[in-house]
Amino acid sequence: METILIVDDEKNYLLVLEALLTDVGYEVITTDSAKDALGLTETHDLDLVITDMRMPGLDGMEFLARLRSRQPELPVIMMTAYATVEKAVEAMKRGAFDYITKPFKNEELKLTIRKAIEMHRLMQQNRLLSQELQERFRFDNIVGKSKVMRQVYEVIEKVAQTRASVLITGESGTGKELIARSIHFNSQRRDKPFISVNCSALSETLLESELFGHERGAFTGAIMQRKGRFELAHGGSLFLDEVGDMSPSLQVKLLRVLQEMAFERVGGSKTLKVDARLITASNRDLRREVETGRFREDLYYRLKVVHIKVPPLRQRRDDIPLLVHHFLEKVAKANSISVKDVSQEALRYMYQYDWVGNVRELENVVERAVILCDGNEIDLRDLPEELLQKRDPKVGEKNGSGSDDISEVVGNGELLPYLGLNQRQMKAINFIKKNGFITNRYYTQINSVMQTQAKLELRQLVDQGLIKRVGGGRSVRYVLPD
């Protein structure tokens, strides 16, 4: 139920409005003092304020100004018996949603209220969505703790606060767009648009129109003016995926935009200025494309102010267990099913596979396994035949000796201690990495298990040397080993 605050020094109007809006289904709060109303806005979760213009003491315009400084998104409808165009314009300039005159028609008032509340609801949803996106694409939320990925995070953190153009390269499926979004949502432009275009998915003509927009009649089928992606990204970031597939003529136009931050729509003569940060990506070696003449050298250096190379999954195998558990939780949530565990043997096979399709292929394999798994644990029978046949059994074994000790160092990488752990234990390790320690109580809370189960699983982690116990009794904590 939406809550409306009505402010008017005429008590008869308060009674009439309260009765009218209560019958419609709104919760109504009334007061005859603008000063008291300011206090009510702090103690109630309001969806709309309706206030009179002329009141003794603090009048409606001053009340509006003070309210806007405190809660700028809360819609306000002004009403008065002394309507003038000047007052209406002034009220709207100060941030009022609308302006009605006394006496008003009931249906007209109810329609205005519905519009104001709908606008407030959409603004709240937009803010929550923006916060969710910002949280989702924080660089420290990208799954991966390996050394090479930590280096990527460091670059993201540094470059996000600048206006520099960023070129992201890597094989297909490595998560280049995720990196691009992380740069945007960790920058000062996070509240502005992030616009994405796949250059390889469109023909040259369509891509030009998509990027720069077109005027009405610019070509057959252009029945109306359309803004391009550069305009839509104004103030924010424009991500051009597979920029290496762009034609030479479009490369010239893109270079001009980077140099001058200006362009013309297709079929237009008016020069438009734009402020958009450009982030590009390619699965090609653009340096080699420059050498063969397929990509402009001057554009290459304009795009490559900062270069982020995303490593293929086979070069950061230490992240595979973390990614597997992340995708298990993601698939379970998407399908409203309980999170499944994965057997140590199945996880070992996934670790030893080369993943030509990188993270995207791994996600698809996990999703397939969850769907085909009959029990609560994914096993070898749930994995694709290709994975079972093409894995390299020497990967992950100590000095190629065939050792089954999964906590041994893998090549020059980090320790791989995660194989065979269940979801709860993985979550506990991540909790410690984030917070520095975990207790029995925290383990039960984040995993929804009994104290006895928490103690058992924490003891298993201690026995494997993955965590160590500090203190005793009620003050016992579990931390990562030194």
Q: What is the DSSP string of 200-267?
A: GGS-HHHHHHHHH-B-TTSSTT--S-B--HHHHTTTSEEEEETGGG--HHHHHHHHHHHHHSEEE-BT
8 A C-beta contact, residue 360 and residue 173:
yes
Dihedral-angle region of residue 170 (phi above 0 means left; psi in -120 to 50 means alpha; beta otherwise)? left
Angle CA(144)–CA(193)–CA(307) in degrees, nearest 5?
45
**pLDDT (0 to 100) of residue 405:** 37
| CA-wise closest residue to 464 among 407, 424, 423 | 407
8 A C-beta contact, residue 77 and residue 112:
yes
Asked if pLDDT for residue 103 goes beyond 60, the answer is yes
Inside any domain, residue 405 = yes
Asked if pLDDT for residue 410 goes beyond 50, the answer is no
> If DSSP codes are grouped into helix, strand and coil, which group holds residue 120?
helix
> Do 299 and 332 belong to one domain?
no
pLDDT averaged over the chain? 85
> Do 236 and 87 belong to one domain?
no
> Do 175 and 289 belong to one domain?
yes
8 A C-beta contact, residue 428 and residue 443:
yes
> Do 342 and 391 belong to one domain?
yes
pLDDT tens digit sequence for 222-239: 888 888 999 999 999 999
Lowest mean pLDDT: which of 87-101, 416-430, 458-472?
416-430
Looking at 85, 101, 131, which one is the last position of a domain? 131
Indicate the pLDDT class of residue 408, thresholds 50, 70 and 90.
Answer: very low
CATH number of 274's domain: 3.40.50.300
**pLDDT (0 to 100) of residue 51:** 93
> Do 53 and 185 belong to one domain?
no
**pLDDT (0 to 100) of residue 426:** 82
> Do 203 and 192 belong to one domain?
yes
User: What does DSSP assign to residue 189?
Assistant: T
| CA-wise closest residue to 224 among 233, 213, 232 | 213
Looking at 266, 283, 311, which one is the last position of a domain? 311
How many CB atoms are located within 10 Å of the residue 378 CB?
24
> Do 410 and 431 belong to one domain?
no
Single-letter amino acid, residue 118: E
Query: Is 129 exposed, middle or buried, given 0-12, 13-18 or 19+ CB atoms closer than 10 A?
Result: exposed
Indicate the pLDDT class of residue 322, thresholds 50, 70 and 90.
Answer: confident
| CA-wise closest residue to 232 among 209, 199, 248 | 209
> Do 298 and 332 belong to one domain?
no
Asked if pLDDT for residue 80 goes beyond 90, the answer is no
> Do 301 and 175 belong to one domain?
yes
> Do 46 and 195 belong to one domain?
no
Residue 3 CA to residue 343 CA, distance in Å, equals: 52
Looking at 96, 131, 166, which one is the last position of a domain? 131
> Do 93 and 198 belong to one domain?
no
Structural domain that includes position 88: 3-131
Query: Is 216 exposed, middle or buried, given 0-12, 13-18 or 19+ CB atoms closer than 10 A?
Result: exposed
> Do 173 and 73 belong to one domain?
no
Of all residues in the chain, the percent with pLDDT exceeding 70 is 90
Inside any domain, residue 71 = yes
Diameter of the chain by CA atoms?
Answer: 92
| Counted domains in the chain | 4
Of all residues in the chain, the percent with pLDDT exceeding 90 is 46
Asked if pLDDT for residue 417 goes beyond 60, the answer is no
Look-up: residue for tokens 């597939």?
245
pLDDT tens digit sequence for 154-199: 899 899 999 999 999 999 999 999 999 999 988 999 888 899 999 9
Inside any domain, residue 136 = no
Query: Are β-strands 477-479 and 468-470 bridged in parallel, bridged antiparallel, or unpaired?
Result: antiparallel
